[in-house]
Amino acid sequence: MFVNPKIFPLTIILDGGSPKDKELGDRLMQKYNKTLGISVAYEYLPDNFKIPDDKKSAARQRHAGYNQQQWSTFHIDRYFSDNIDIIGIVDSDTEFFAYLTKESFINAKGMIKVGYKIDDFFINDKIALKEDSKMEMMRIDVFPLFYYKRSFAAVRKYIRNIWKVKAFDDAFVKFASFPFSQFNILYKTLMKIEPESYEFISHDSVSSYKISVASHATYNHNIDYKSGCCLTHAIHCSPQAEKHKFDILTYFQVKTVWSENATLAENYYKLSKQYLEDLDPDIRQKMRSACS
């Protein structure tokens, strides 16, 4: 509905050690590889490496399955070819409600735009980084989360060095004993080691702003993809759609100072429609049909 697969090809990473994941991967490739260009990559754990697993804990963040997807994020660059410069990550329960454009996450200087607020929800991020920071990039609930592909190796090296271990994974098994946000850890590290590549934008910034095109569907009840279909594709239009026009200017866990800026919202939807007009008619029709 809102992502052009020719510009933003989708790769789904599954567990190579799971027969059910292999079965799912085969079905996805058969159904979507030729029509949408979706690809599937399989993840295998390194030899002699065991994901931390606290089976006695009631918190899912302490279990092996959750820890593995967090570990996987730090290594996600390894599943993409050298011609990929930027990787965008979404959670499995992410729902898009507006058209994804490069302008939504890249500024005029080529820096990736990252939204944040001041919060201390993931208090254990400081364990991984060995320093405290109240900046919160995950809890604003803005997806996709974009990174330069080269940045992942740089972060692994930085964390390996501050923990004084031979490999990043040696550090991971130590700090993964505590709940944390891998996305926060990545961005907080990049703020230090690649400040020229990322623009960090607070919810109260008056000099810049961040566009939101997707969010968690499971707990963000404000999401309404049908309104997005109206505003982007002129489908499912109702008085409700106008109310959601400003969702693209919102950090869903905190109000931004630009959240009611009509000019910003209208300009972004105009840009989206311009991109759609330039699309291959077949792709445009498939996107519209997905809204039906």
What is the separation of C-alpha 224 from the centre of its chain, rounded to a whole number of angstroms? Answer: 19
Helix axes 168-175, 149-163, angle to 10 degrees: 70
Q: What's the CA gap between 273 and 268, in Å, rounded?
A: 9
Query: Which of 147 and 282 is assigned the larger pLDDT?
Result: 147
| pLDDT value of position 58 | 41
Q: How far is CA 28 from the centre of its chain?
A: 21
Q: Is the model's pLDDT at 154 over the cut of 90?
A: yes
3 state DSSP class of 145: strand
Q: Please, which residues have CB within 8 angstroms of residue 77's CB and are 6 or more apart in sequence?
A: 87, 149, 150, 151, 152, 153
Note the pLDDT tens digit of each residue in 179-213.
899 999 999 999 999 999 999 999 999 999 999 99
Distance CA 274, CA 271 (A): 5
User: Quick one: tokens of 134?
Assistant: 């109240």
Confidence (pLDDT) at 61: 53
Residues 142/147/151/156 CA torsion (nearest 10 deg): 40
pLDDT at site 292: 76
Has residue 22 got a pLDDT over 60?
Answer: yes
Neighbours of 210 (CB within 10 A): 25
Q: Using one digit for the tens of pLDDT, what is the confidence trace for 118-127?
A: 988 888 899 9
Mean per-residue pLDDT over the chain, rounded? 90
Q: Band the pLDDT of 20: cuts 50, 70, 90.
A: very high
107-117 per-position pLDDT tens digit? 999 999 999 99
In this prediction, residue 225 carries a pLDDT of: 86
pLDDT at position 127 is 93
3-state class (DSSP) for residue 23: helix
**Ranges 56-70, 174-188, 239-253: which has the least confidence:** 56-70
